[in-house]
Structure 1
Amino acid sequence: MRGAKSAKWVVGAIVVAMAATACGGGSNDSGKGGGATFRLGITEPKSIDPINAQESEGTLVARQLFVGLYDVKDDGTLAPKLAESAKPNDAGDEWTFQIKKDTKFSNGEPVNAEAFIRGWTRVATKASASDVAYHMNGIAGYKELNGGSSDKFSGLSAEGDYTLKVKLSAPDFEFDKKTAHPAFSPMPKVAGAGDNKSFNDAPIGNGPFKMSGSWEHNKKITLVRNDDYGLTKAKLDKVELAILNPANGVTLEYKGFESGQFDWARMPVPQMPGAKKKYEPQGEWVKADVAGINYISPFNETSPMNSADARKAISYAIDRAEIAKGVFQGLQEPATALLPPNFKEVYKADVCSSCAKQDKAKAKEYAEKAGLKPGDTLDFGYNTGAGHEEWVQAVAKQVEDVLGLKVKLNGLPFKEALEKQQEKGAKGIWRQAWSADYPTADNFFAPLLSTNGINPDANGKALGDNRGRYSNPKFDELLVKARQTKDATERAKIYNEAEKLAIDEDQAVIPTWKRTQYRLVNTKKFTNVKIDFYEDPNLAEIGVK
């Protein structure tokens, strides 16, 4: 979500909820320093302010405007940004970060330890009602701050200007990785409270780019190079993100690339084989096996998906290999686990027994156990305009053919889809995808499957990314145990046990395809254009020919 992408949700190609896709812009408007304008197409973000940036479109922008303690390299390794060092104590419940000196926000305010405390507190405070605040729930004082009984983050303190001390409520030997999420960005004093609309629409950050004017909702967002950036400066002069109609955004991206309007684009699934044939020989086809997963999320609390048997019946009814070959033309590969293969230290294939191959007999057996009967209705939601229609329809037909259910497809624009999933009493299944925000299994398990990841408000609305509302105390205990385990090999074993419980025994979610991403790239005008760890273009590193 993820979501990612929160990890972030992904719109397209499946950044969960879903990831959004960026389309690049075609003009080569030269500016000072010999730069250029790079144009992208996205759908309307929920937020570009780190206080609530959660899906791919919003986090794409937030990562250009802000830089925190760490980033993540393409290969999934942690890359220091403003952190000169990070040291846990022996117990793993306290971290000390030394912050790079003499960097500043684009308005001249200093980026120091207090700026980090200010930013993290702003996200976690109750008044912000942030959907991504849960990433900080391991910090001491989070519950009081998020619950409204305190306005201070008791676990955060500064020792001098550039030493940040973080006290955790429980040991976590991977806490440094989590600070790569935009929610952990520093904030200038001018940011004010969470409902500061002028700042929400034109954030003042410390990243490689800064806003040019304000976010023009449903029209565009324009970024320009931040020449006062304290690290390696961007080569591009400007980035223009056109906000496209969510009903057919991915099609508009593809057509925009073909016409020269965009420099980066996703493609509708049916057009991928043709696009590969045309653009790969020209060096304009990019592929990356990324740190994400495509899956179907059943709503665990409500009928008809409120039993593991019902969820397994749906999973066994799906012929992933057939859809991968037919709909995706071999460009996607079936998934048999929730974790992605590039999490090499933790990944295990074939965790999900019901994912290995379609088994009609077992699907019917589990449906009977669950009380699912032919003619029963199953709601199947997905986000429109991102190329999901074909495969969603294929899954629906397989479920109808095998189980005799009536599958009711419910397509919504991405922003509306995310909101619909949060509603109390949501039912059926939903197409989802998750792209990692930081390189740890915890970034999948905690947001998507932990009880804390539900984060309901007083009205039962799920504010976290566990939209399916799966909850198992044993699973939660395993996550705590993993965080407290200093040895990486032993920690991986615990994560494996947790995944087996949630994905195989409980079938909390239904893995579908691994996340292999494809993009079209304008290499005639730009160099060093890649799909980064977050499934976005690496805007701060792009060169100009």
Structure 2
Amino acid sequence: MRGAKSAKWVAGAIAIALAATACGGGDDSSGNNEGSAKSGGTFRMGITEPVAIDPYNAQESEGILVADNLFTGLYNSTKDGEVVPELATSKKVSADGKTWTFKIKKGTKFSNGEAVDAESFLRGWNRVAQKKAASDVAYHLGGIEGFADVQSGKSQKMSGLSAPDPDTLQVKLSAPDFEFFVKTTHTVFSPVPKVAGDGKNKAFNEAPIGNGPFKMQGKWEHNKSITLVRNDDYGLTKAKLEKVQIDILNSNNGVTLEYQGFESGQYDWARMPTPQLPAAKAKYEPQGEWVAEDTNGMNYLLAITDNGPLKDKKAREAVSYAIDRDAIIKGVFQGMYTKSTTILPPVFKDVYTKDLCTSCVKQDKAKAKQLASEGGLKPGTTIEMAYNTGAGHEEWMQAVKQQLEDVLGVKVKSTGKPFAELLDDQQKPGATGLYRFAWGADYPTPDNYLYPLLSTASINKDESGKVIGDNRSRFSNKAFDDLVNKARATNDQAARSDLYKQAEKIAVGELPLIPLWNRTQQRLANTKKFANLEMDFHENPNLAEVGLK
């Protein structure tokens, strides 16, 4: 995203419609002198245990951080949301939006010496889609012809993928999608070498062999560490850092450990516990080590819509009216967040409709009680509410719990869990209640919110009823699905934006995701030692560009 100064997002047509671009006046107070970075050095940071670091299932910021530095795909998103080519030297789309042809840069290779060609992309994408992989992020490939057959186990390869020659990748889609190339910025579209085998290949899962700016040193030491070293045979601009040492911290207090590690000089990048934000800003902003960004992310309460006390949309609306967002922002976040009244983030200026969620604008206790009664949410009802520990969510979740109990007379059972466990619980058959939920765009288009989080296709239940996709609320609405599909098939930007707006309006009317606040991210960064140190599109440090001063 942006550098170590506060920046705002504005709309701009860069490489694609609706791409976001940054602006921020004045001098760069961080002291990052771009272009002056020197080679060498070890960059140290802490994260909590990822779900996966192999592209077949890398999904949250921790896993994406590692996978994105181990692998390079066709396109990438810059920190400002511009989609730029990496291994793609050209792209061509048919008039009907269903056939894409990519030319691939010649002469690059994986860190084991194997050539990166069109077949390695086919291998990587088919590997993700296979039923036995049980990938939570396979749905990103869902528009490719033959995806359903591979997911069901009827086929091992998607019929829509072909390699006419080693340098040409052709993709046929089952339905038009004029933004398909944007989606290839996700790590799930990475190429893989032959040794990768199936998705669930433990040896490769724990020590992936990629074609990115870094490679693994040893294997993933679960709950302990991951070490990356520079890939000196990288086919594009080589990284400057010699090594990246990533400690895996206890999920119960990971953010606190990151902050303490930065203060002691152990880490070069860190998040902070929410109560420490004012003190950290006061101390580190004057030193140019404070990073504050209005990012593409959003924070919600995810409501389970097909089971439990929030099955009725009026019950969900009651929850929304009962929350005093302004009080939480002032009391817990010390005024450092802004209230959200939409599902889509403000960065998408062409579709953003302020105050679309009327129940989000201001707490209304009377309205909340009325809707709770109409929606069957009776006083004394127990609502399960879960959040991930170690990431600074305890304080505001406690505030939400208190407000819901005070206003609605319900009993909220609030439970903190390790992140991987929280994600697993959201997927389980019979899930109920509310979950802390946040989303940062995988690629810069409104489609990346509307389709994965809210489309019927993204529920993708397996035989047991477990939700494999990211639509964990189980929201399903045909009118919404039709609008998103129509937007994908629309080449005109203005018309496509209007369709996205219509789809969001339907979703806000149902509130499977209850908006809370727009995401502002704060980090501490060792800009005294490192140059070009910024927050990337996924809110991680831009390791491939960082170097010593």
Counterpart check, 1:516 vs 2:520:
yes
Give the Cα–Cα distance (whole angstroms) in 2 for the partners of residues 168 and 350 of structure 1.
Answer: 36
Superposed CA offset, 1:455-494 (max 9, x none): 1110000111111111111111111100000001100000
Q: 3-state SS of the aligned residue for 2:456? A: coil
Q: Please tell me the residue identity of whatever aligns with 1:535.
A: E
Q: Paired residue for 1:162?
A: 167
Give the Cα–Cα distance (whole angstroms) in 2 for the partners of residues 433 and 539 of structure 1.
Answer: 23
Give the Cα–Cα distance (whole angstroms) in 2 for the partners of residues 506 and 364 of structure 1.
Answer: 18
The correspondence for 2:543, drawn from 525, 539, 542, is 539
The correspondence for 1:432, drawn from 415, 434, 437, is 437
Superposed CA offset, 1:102-122 (max 9, x none): 111001111111110010000
Q: Structure 2: which 5+ residue stretches go unaligned?
A: 1-37
The correspondence for 1:455, drawn from 460, 465, 470, is 460
Q: Paired residue for 1:61?
A: 66
The correspondence for 1:48, drawn from 46, 53, 64, is 53
Counterpart check, 1:146 vs 2:151:
yes
Q: Contact 2:73–2:185 at 8 Å: present in 1 too?
A: yes
Q: Paired residue for 2:227?
A: 222
The correspondence for 1:464, drawn from 461, 465, 469, is 469
Q: Paired residue for 1:235?
A: 240
Large movers: runs of 4+ above 6 Å? none
Q: Paired residue for 2:27?
A: none
Q: Paired residue for 1:246?
A: 251
Bigger shift: 331-340 or 202-211? 331-340
Superposed CA offset, 1:199-232 (max 9, x none): 1100000000000000011100000000111111
Give the Cα–Cα distance (whole angstroms) in 2 for the partners of residues 389 and 174 of structure 1.
Answer: 38
The 5 Å alignment of 1:178-197 reads 178-197=183-202
Q: How many residues align?
A: 512
Give the Cα–Cα distance (whole angstroms) in 2 for the partners of residues 398 and 337 of structure 1.
Answer: 21
Give the Cα–Cα distance (whole angstroms) in 1 for the partners of residues 39 and 478 of structure 2.
Answer: 57
What TM-score, normalized to structure 1? 0.93
The 5 Å alignment of 1:33-182 reads 34-182=39-187
The correspondence for 1:279, drawn from 284, 308, 322, is 284
CA deviation after TM superposition for structure 1 residue 346, in Å? 2.2
Q: Please tell me the residue identity of whatever aligns with 1:452.
A: A
The correspondence for 2:358, drawn from 345, 353, 356, is 353
Superposed CA offset, 1:49-69 (max 9, x none): 001111111111000000100
Give the Cα–Cα distance (whole angstroms) in 2 for the partners of residues 346 and 373 of structure 1.
Answer: 37
Give the Cα–Cα distance (whole angstroms) in 1 for the partners of residues 257 and 152 of structure 2.
Answer: 43
The correspondence for 1:295, drawn from 300, 324, 331, is 300
Q: Contact 2:39–2:547 at 8 Å: present in 1 too?
A: no
Give the Cα–Cα distance (whole angstroms) in 1 for the partners of residues 350 and 110 of structure 2.
Answer: 37
Give the Cα–Cα distance (whole angstroms) in 2 for the partners of residues 315 and 384 of structure 1.
Answer: 23
Give the Cα–Cα distance (whole angstroms) in 2 for the partners of residues 308 and 301 of structure 1.
Answer: 10
Q: 3-state SS of the aligned residue for 1:529? A: coil
CA deviation after TM superposition for structure 1 residue 348, in Å? 2.1
Q: Paired residue for 2:9?
A: none
Superposed CA offset, 1:488-517 (max 9, x none): 1100000000000001x1112101010110
Counterpart check, 1:332 vs 2:337:
yes
CA deviation after TM superposition for structure 1 residue 374, in Å? 1.3
Q: Please tell me the residue identity of whatever aligns with 2:140.
A: H
Superposed CA offset, 1:140-196 (max 9, x none): 000001110011210001121111100000000000000011110001111111222
Q: Paired residue for 1:24?
A: none
Give the Cα–Cα distance (whole angstroms) in 1 for the partners of residues 137 and 419 of structure 2.
Answer: 17
Q: Contact 1:298–1:509 at 8 Å: present in 2 too?
A: yes
What TM-score, normalized to structure 2? 0.92
Q: Structure 1: which 5+ residue stretches go unaligned?
A: 1-32
The correspondence for 1:490, drawn from 469, 489, 495, is 495
Give the Cα–Cα distance (whole angstroms) in 2 for the partners of residues 359 and 67 of structure 1.
Answer: 49
Q: Paired residue for 1:507?
A: 511
Q: 3-state SS of the aligned residue for 2:435? A: strand
Give the Cα–Cα distance (whole angstroms) in 2 for the partners of residues 238 and 416 of structure 1.
Answer: 30
Give the Cα–Cα distance (whole angstroms) in 2 for the partners of residues 399 and 323 of structure 1.
Answer: 13
Q: 3-state SS of the aligned residue for 1:282? A: coil
Q: Paired residue for 1:315?
A: 320
CA deviation after TM superposition for structure 1 residue 34, in Å? 4.0
Give the Cα–Cα distance (whole angstroms) in 1 for the partners of residues 376 and 499 of structure 2.
Answer: 34
Counterpart check, 1:478 vs 2:470:
no
Q: How high is the sequence identity, in percent, across the aligned residues?
A: 62
Give the Cα–Cα distance (whole angstroms) in 2 for the partners of residues 455 and 117 of structure 1.
Answer: 23
Give the Cα–Cα distance (whole angstroms) in 2 for the partners of residues 531 and 342 of structure 1.
Answer: 16
Q: 3-state SS of the aligned residue for 1:540? A: coil
Q: CA RMSD in A?
A: 0.8
Q: Contact 2:310–2:377 at 8 Å: present in 1 too?
A: no
